[in-house]
């Protein structure tokens, strides 16, 4: 198919505005799938079930005739959550146009806005589409007004559809040909990497946009980022199942299987070319860095080997996660992992539990801090244990984020209260009909704890939040260390903003007090910053010795008691002079 007949586009929408439903209608109307057979194809497709691993279809190739001429539409999927903004821009890089889908009952939401801004930045042709016009609560006219006011759109160019019933969807499909331009041909072989995933028996599968040239089985390609060569085993399109092709042509979006084995060699945004050509790679695509760190430990320390095997296997499928070994006297052996956001972290934990059948515990998430040293250098501190000595540090910097919050106007006071308590600085605000939009600057640390959930509950679910990392700023960060009987506990050291140290120290001391059993001596618990005690608790002694009551004679009874104590000990762990239950530290990290 010639490149003038190809259209590459994506659908961008706020969560639940109907993206998957619309994609399903596209697939049906174009005859790519049979009507009614597959609900939510693009979203839920389990392309390959390899012992439970589900792989979403990241693109769908659809052949569609307009005025008797056959076109190839490539619908490229964009993920829909705040943690994955970078993935949205990645998908957009492969498109010339975007369908901006807005729920007629809800109007513009935080993600509508951020997606719109991303699409504009990438110079995409934007087609505004109002969905769910069949609903009685639809406010189609007022949503049109919002689009005119906020995005300067022409009301005559706004499509109105019901993705559910199919109303207006064919008309939209027919217009894509004229509204969205075809891709450009760069003539030489140039493959832009949109996405990748991992199949256990096939290795890494690449989803690429053919910027130019042809690619077929037997070819060799070279990664511009890593300068590594790969042999191409198979090429094809997702329609929506994998359909092998003779070759991929300019403008097409397709999958490529090679002898690449590790998914961290597939860097989204990388360019692949012929090993001998001089083609320049695509530029301007930043590699994302994890902004949320946590410790992952097996719930049962005996499962450490299992966890060790599984966590690296899982990481092969997820190039955005970073994993380092970590061991702690209190928690045992585990890992320090870096994620894009809290959702990403949750997804990873869920996959470890579901796909690998492991019970793991996660320490509370934290952000990386930048320590500016007296010698002019700087180091990232992702873990309090690794923090450089206070004497060499000039000051710390913390990651900041710009957050966009939208909510119905009546909830604005509660939203403000919440943001204020989390050190949000209001930068901008705007009214959208009966919706308010606020832009706040937050320390990222304040966002990742629970801001998303708190906003949701403060607005009865109507509020939405989007955030984006915006650099580091100087901050008063201190190292808080918990001591048991004057011994520092490594698992219980934290980097925290100074003003939060007291509150956190107090909370942890209290929780330890509630969870550590009484000893023969008084147990002292202290939270210290820079050697100074900022919170403390004590656990009174019992003086109880289990065998004390069995004076001499009754040996069997004594033995039974000692055995029971031994059994109990298995669940216990020594931290310095103090014996704690294995789950003590977990309870310290658990949410309120």
DSSP state of 286: P
In terms of CB distance, is 127 or 535 closer to ligand GTP?
127
Q: Per-residue x/- mask for ligand GTP, residues 141 to 170, rule CB under 6 A?
A: ---------------------xxx------
254 is an annotated ligand-binding site residue: no
Q: Out of 7, 27, 30, 80, which residue is the one contacting ligand GTP (CB under 6 A)?
A: 80
79 is an annotated ligand-binding site residue: yes
In terms of CB distance, is 133 or 535 closer to ligand GTP?
133
405 is an annotated ligand-binding site residue: no
Contact between 180 and 36 under an 8 Å Cβ cutoff? The reply is no
Question: Residue 59: which of 306, 272, 216, 242 has the closest Cα?
Answer: 242
81 is an annotated ligand-binding site residue: yes
Q: Is 21 in the site for ligand GTP (CB under 6 A)?
A: yes
Q: How far apart are CA 497 and CA 164, in angstroms?
A: 49
In terms of CB distance, is 80 or 443 closer to ligand GTP?
80
* Shortest spacing between CB 17 and ligand GTP, in angstroms: 5
Q: Out of 43, 241, 450, 468, which residue is the one contacting ligand GTP (CB under 6 A)?
A: 43
Q: Is 134 in the site for ligand GTP (CB under 6 A)?
A: yes
Q: Is 107 in the site for ligand GTP (CB under 6 A)?
A: no
Contact between 425 and 418 under an 8 Å Cβ cutoff? The reply is no
In terms of CB distance, is 119 or 393 closer to ligand GTP?
119
Q: What is the gyration radius of the CA atoms in the chain, in angstroms?
A: 28
In terms of CB distance, is 162 or 398 closer to ligand GTP?
162
The verdict on whether omega for the bond into residue 429 sits within 30 degrees of 0, i.e. cis, is no
80 is an annotated ligand-binding site residue: yes
* Shortest spacing between CB 132 and ligand GTP, in angstroms: 4
Question: Residue 314: which of 357, 259, 351 has the closest Cα?
Answer: 351
Q: Which span sits near ligand GTP by CB under 6 A: 127-135, 319-327, 355-363, 403-411?
A: 127-135
Q: How far apart are CA 538 and CA 524, in angstroms?
A: 5
Q: Out of 18, 168, 332, 368, which residue is the one contacting ligand GTP (CB under 6 A)?
A: 18
60 is an annotated ligand-binding site residue: no
13 is an annotated ligand-binding site residue: yes
* Shortest spacing between CB 335 and ligand GTP, in angstroms: 30
Q: Which span sits near ligand GTP by CB under 6 A: 9-17, 232-240, 442-450, 528-536?
A: 9-17
DSSP state of 501: H
* Shortest spacing between CB 18 and ligand GTP, in angstroms: 3
The site for ligand GTP, by CB under 6 A, has a size of: 17
Q: Is 470 in the site for ligand GTP (CB under 6 A)?
A: no
* Shortest spacing between CB 80 and ligand GTP, in angstroms: 4
408 CB-contact burial (10 Å; exposed 0-12 / middle 13-18 / buried 19+): middle
183 CB-contact burial (10 Å; exposed 0-12 / middle 13-18 / buried 19+): buried
Q: Is 25 in the site for ligand GTP (CB under 6 A)?
A: no
Structure tokens at 565: 């104590």
Q: Is 139 in the site for ligand GTP (CB under 6 A)?
A: no
Q: How far apart are CA 191 and CA 456, in angstroms?
A: 41
**What residues are paired with 72 via a beta bridge?**
6, 63
- For 195, list phi and psi in degrees, rounded to 5: -165, 165
123 is an annotated ligand-binding site residue: no
Q: Is 15 in the site for ligand GTP (CB under 6 A)?
A: yes
> 330: which residues sit within 8 A by CB, 6+ positions away?
489, 490, 491, 492, 573, 575, 580, 585
Q: Out of 20, 239, 445, 493, which residue is the one contacting ligand GTP (CB under 6 A)?
A: 20
134 is an annotated ligand-binding site residue: yes
In terms of CB distance, is 162 or 383 closer to ligand GTP?
162
In terms of CB distance, is 21 or 91 closer to ligand GTP?
21
Question: Residue 506: which of 531, 523, 487, 529 has the closest Cα?
Answer: 529
Q: Is 349 in the site for ligand GTP (CB under 6 A)?
A: no
Q: How far apart are CA 51 and CA 277, in angstroms?
A: 40
Q: Is 135 in the site for ligand GTP (CB under 6 A)?
A: yes
131 is an annotated ligand-binding site residue: yes
168 is an annotated ligand-binding site residue: no
* Shortest spacing between CB 170 and ligand GTP, in angstroms: 14
SS3 state at 147: helix
- For 114, list phi and psi in degrees, rounded to 5: -65, -35
> 383: which residues sit within 8 A by CB, 6+ positions away?
293, 326, 336
Contact between 4 and 71 under an 8 Å Cβ cutoff? The reply is no
* Shortest spacing between CB 61 and ligand GTP, in angstroms: 20
Q: Which span sits near ligand GTP by CB under 6 A: 126-134, 278-286, 320-328, 397-405?
A: 126-134
DSSP string, 521-580: S-EEEEEEETTEEEEEEEE------TTTTS-TT-HHHHHHHHHHHHHHHHTEEEETTEEE
Binding residues for GTP: 13-20, 77-81, 131-134
Binding residues: 13-20, 77-81, 131-134
Residues that bind ligand GTP (CB under 6 A): 13, 15-21, 43, 80, 131-132, 134-135, 162-164
């Amino acid at each position: 198919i010639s490149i003038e007949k190809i259209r590459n586009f994506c659908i961008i929408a706020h969560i639940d505005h109907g993206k998957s439903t619309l994609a399903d209608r596209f697939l049906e109307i174009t005859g790519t799938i049979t009507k009614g057979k597959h609900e939510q194809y693009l979203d839920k497709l389990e392309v390959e079930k390899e012992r439970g691993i589900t792989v979403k279809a990241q693109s769908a190739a659809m052949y569609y005739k307009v005025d008797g001429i056959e076109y190839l539409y490539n619908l490229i999927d964009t993920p829909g959550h705040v943690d994955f903004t970078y993935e949205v821009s990645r998908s957009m890089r492969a498109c010339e146009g975007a369908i901006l889908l807005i729920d007629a009952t809800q109007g513009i939401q935080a993600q509508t806005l951020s997606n719109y801004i991303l699409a504009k930045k990438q110079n995409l042709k934007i087609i505004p589409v109002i969905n769910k016009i069949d609903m009685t609560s639809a406010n189609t006219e007022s949503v049109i007004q919002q689009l005119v006011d906020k995005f300067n759109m022409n009301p005559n160019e706004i499509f109105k559809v019901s993705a559910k019933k199919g109303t207006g969807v064919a008309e939209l499909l027919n217009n894509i040909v004229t509204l969205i331009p075809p891709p450009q041909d760069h003539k030489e072989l140039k493959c832009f990497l949109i996405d990748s995933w991992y199949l256990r028996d096939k290795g890494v599968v690449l989803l690429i946009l053919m910027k130019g040239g042809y690619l077929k089985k037997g070819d060799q390609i070279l990664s511009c980022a890593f300068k590594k060569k790969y042999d191409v085993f198979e090429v094809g399109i997702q329609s929506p199942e994998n359909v092998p092709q003779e070759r991929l042509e300019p403008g097409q979006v397709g999958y490529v299987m090679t002898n690449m084995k590790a998914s961290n060699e597939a860097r989204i945004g990388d360019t692949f070319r012929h090993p001998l050509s001089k083609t320049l790679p695509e530029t301007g695509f930043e590699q994302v860095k994890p902004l949320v760190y946590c410790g992952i430990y097996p719930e049962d320390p005996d499962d450490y080997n299992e966890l060790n095997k599984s966590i690296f296997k899982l990481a092969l499928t997820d190039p955005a996660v970073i994993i380092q070994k970590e061991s702690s006297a209190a928690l045992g052996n585990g890992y320090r992992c870096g994620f894009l956001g809290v959702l990403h972290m949750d997804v990873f934990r869920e996959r470890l539990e579901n796909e690998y059948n492991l019970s793991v515990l996660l320490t509370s998430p934290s952000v990386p801090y930048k320590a500016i040293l007296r010698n002019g250098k700087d180091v990232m501190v992702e873990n309090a244990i690794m923090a450089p000595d206070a004497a060499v540090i000039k000051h710390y910097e913390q990651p900041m984020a710009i957050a966009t919050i939208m909510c119905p106007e009546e909830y604005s006071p509660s939203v403000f209260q919440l943001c204020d308590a989390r050190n949000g600085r209001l930068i901008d605000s705007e009214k959208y009909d009966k919706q308010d939009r606020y832009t706040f600057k937050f320390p990222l640390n304040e966002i990742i704890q629970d801001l998303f959930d708190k906003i949701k509950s403060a607005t009865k679910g109507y509020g939405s939040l989007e955030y984006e990392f915006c650099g580091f700023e100087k901050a008063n960060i201190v190292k808080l260390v918990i001591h048991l009987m004057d011994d520092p506990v490594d698992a219980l050291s934290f980097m925290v903003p100074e003003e939060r140290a007291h509150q956190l120290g107090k909370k942890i001391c209290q929780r330890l007090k509630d969870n550590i059993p009484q000893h023969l001596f008084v147990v002292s618990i202290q939270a210290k910053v820079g050697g100074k005690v900022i919170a403390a608790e004590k656990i009174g002694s019992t003086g109880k010795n289990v065998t004390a009551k069995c004076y001499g004679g009754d040996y069997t009874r004594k033995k039974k008691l000692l055995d029971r104590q031994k059994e109990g000990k298995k669940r216990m762990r020594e931290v310095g002079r103090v014996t704690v239950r294995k789950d003590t530290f977990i309870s310290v990290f658990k949410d309120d």
